[in-house]
Amino acid sequence: MRADADRLPEVVTAPVEAVLCSMGLQVLQPLPRVLGATAAALRPGGALAATIPSTAALTLGDRARWLPVLVTLRTRPRYPNDAVMGRLPGLLGAAGLEPTSSEDRRFGFIVRTEADVRTVLDSLYLPDVEPRRRARADAVAARWVGDELGLSIRRVVAVRRR
C-alpha cells in the first residue's frame, strides 16, 4: 500500500501492535504530525520501532575511511529533518509516545567492487552535490574496494502511553 505517512490512521483499519519505520524519520515531514499519526495508529502500549542514520557507532578507522570522501564532496549527508532530530525524544513525548530505548550499532559493509562504491554514495542523501564533484568522490572512494566500510544505524523504540 502506498500512502502518506501523516495519514496512517486513515489507512490502518484497527489499532496496531507495532509500527516499524526503516530509515524514514529523518525525511518524513512535518515530523510532529507524522509522530502524532503514528501514535494514533498504535494501540495503547503498542510500540514504534524506527531506524535512523547516525554516526555514533563508527570507529576511528571508519571515520578515517569516510573523511577523504566527505571532504571531496564538501558536505555530509543532510536530511530534511536535521534541525529537529536532536529533539526527537521530546517530539515523541509530545505525540504521546514514551521513548524506551535508543541504541547505535555498527554494521560492516564489505565493498567488493566499484559498483558497490557507487551504491554506497547513491545511498547518501546529497541533493546539492554537482555531478562533477560526485564523480571525484567516486574516484576517491574507489580506495574502499576490498575493505570493510562501517555504517552506523540508530534504533529508537517508543511505546504509546496507555
Report if residue 5 touches ligand SAM, rule: CB under 6 A.
yes
Tell me whether residue 28 or residue 117 sits nearer to ligand SAM (CB atom): 28
The correct pick among 16, 27, 121, 145 for binding ligand SAM (CB under 6 A) is 27
Cα–Cα separations (whole angstroms), residue 129 to 28, 90, 137, 152: 21, 32, 10, 22
User: 24: Cβ–Cβ under 8 A, 6 or more apart, which residues?
Assistant: 5, 50
Stretch that binds ligand SAM, among 22-30, 90-98, 113-121, 138-146 (CB under 6 A): 22-30
Burial bucket for residue 22 (CB in 10 Å: 0-12, 13-18, 19+):
exposed
Residue 142 DSSP symbol: G
Q: Which is nearer to ligand SAM, 22 or 59 (CB)?
A: 22
Judged by CB under 6 A, the stretch of 24-32, 99-107, 108-116, 142-150 that binds ligand SAM is: 24-32
For ligand SAM, give the closer residue by CB, 59 or 119: 119
- Asked if 11 and 38 touch (Cβ cutoff 8 Å), the reply is no
32 interacts with ligand SAM by CB under 6 A: no
- Choosing from 11, 18, 22, 161, the residue that interacts with ligand SAM (CB under 6 A) is 22
Q: Is 82 in the site for ligand SAM (CB under 6 A)?
A: no
Query: What distances in angstroms separate CA 35 from CA 48, 95, 114, 121, 129, one per listed residue?
Result: 9, 6, 38, 29, 30
Taking the complex as a whole, the smallest distance from the CB of residue 143 to ligand SAM amounts, in Å, to 26
Which one of 18-26, 61-69, 104-112, 133-141 is the stretch in contact with ligand SAM (CB under 6 A)? Answer: 18-26
Cell 534541525 identifies what position?
83
